[in-house]
Amino acid sequence: MWQKISIIIPVLNEEKNIQAFLSKLQPLREHGHEVVLVDGKSQDNTCDLARPYVDRMMSSEKGRARQQILGAKMATGQIFLFLHADTFLPQNADQIILTALFSNQATGSLWGRFNVRLSGQHWLFRVIERLMNWRSCLTGIATGDQAIFVAKSLYNEVGGIPAIDLMEDIEFSNRLGKLNQPMCLQSTVITSSRRWEKNGILKTIFFMWSMRLQYFFGVKPEVLVNKYYS
C-alpha cells in the first residue's frame, strides 16, 4: 500500500548548506523514494547546486506553504514528508515512517512527526526541545521542524496544506487532527538552532510564543508574517 515517500523541501537562498543537506538524503533515493525541491526564486546558486541531488525541481513564489503545496502536486509518492532545509532526518527514516504507518493501520492514524533536537549545545536547548516534543504530543500539533509526514490519501482528504503566509504547519495539524491523532515518533530529527543563537534563546522563545498566541486569538497570518521576517 505505502512504498514510496516523496520528500518535499521548500528552499530559499540556501547555497551555503544545500549540498551537505541533500547529500544526507541520497540513501533514501537509492531505496526508491524521491526528493522534490521547490525553490522560492532564490537569488543565489541554490538550484544549480541542488539539481544533481533531487528527482524533481520546480520554482514558485516564495512562501513555505505555497512551495509545499506545489511540491505535493508534483510528487508521485504515496506518502508525503515535508522537510525543512535545515532539518536532518535520522538514519533509516523511510523504514521508521513505513513501519509506523503499517503498525498503526488498526487505529487509522495516517500522519505523524518526529521528535526534534536542536543542534546547539546550550543546556537551554535540551529544555526547549523536551517541551516542544511534550507539547506536540499533548496538543496533537506538529511543527515543520518536526518533519511532518502524511499519507497522500489523508493529505487530499483534508484539502492539503492551507495557502497562508505563516502558521501553515499549525493549521495543517489542526486539519489532520480532526480525523487522526498524530503518531509522535521517538526517533529524532536534528534541526538548526541558528535562529535561536542569532537572536537570543530567551528572546526567541518569547517571540515564537507571542506569534502563536496572536494567531490563536485571530491575528491574520499576513499580518504575522511581516513581524516574523522583520
Domains of the chain in start order, with CATH, are 5-228 (3.90.550.10)
Q: Which of 186, 182, 185 lies closest to 174 in space, CA to CA?
A: 182
Span 47-54, average pLDDT = 98
Q: How many CA atoms lie within 13 A of 5 on its CB side?
A: 26
Per the CB < 8 A criterion, the answer to whether 155 and 80 are in contact is yes
Report the C-alpha gap between 32 and 25 in whole angstroms. 12
| Cell numbers describing residue 177 | 487532527
Position 200, amino acid: G
Segment 195-228, tens digit of pLDDT: 888 888 888 878 888 878 888 778 887 777 777 7
> If we measure between CA atoms, which residue out of 38, 43, 110, 50 comes closest to residue 80?
110
Contact criterion met (CB below 8 Å) for 47 and 76? no
Residues 96-119 have pLDDT tens digits of: 999 999 877 656 789 999 999 999
Q: Tell me how far apart the alpha carbons of residues 156 and 150 are, in angstroms, rounded to a whole number.
A: 10
For residues 145-170, give the mean pLDDT.
95
The arithmetic mean of pLDDT across residues 54-73, rounded, is 96
Going from the C-alpha of 58 to that of each of 22, 26, 204, the distances in angstroms are: 16, 19, 32
More confident residue, 195 or 171: 171
State the pTM of this model: 0.93
Whether the Cβ atoms of residue 32 and residue 65 lie closer than 8 Å to each other: no
**198: helix, coil or strand?**
helix
Query: Among 26-30, 74-78, 129-133, 204-208, which stretch is predicted with the lowest mean pLDDT?
Result: 204-208
Residue 159 has pLDDT above 70, yes or no: yes
Each residue's pLDDT tens digit, 25-44: 999 999 999 999 999 999 99
CB-count burial class (<10 Å; 0-12, 13-18, 19+) for 14: buried
C-alpha to C-alpha distance for 89 and 21, rounded to whole angstroms:
10
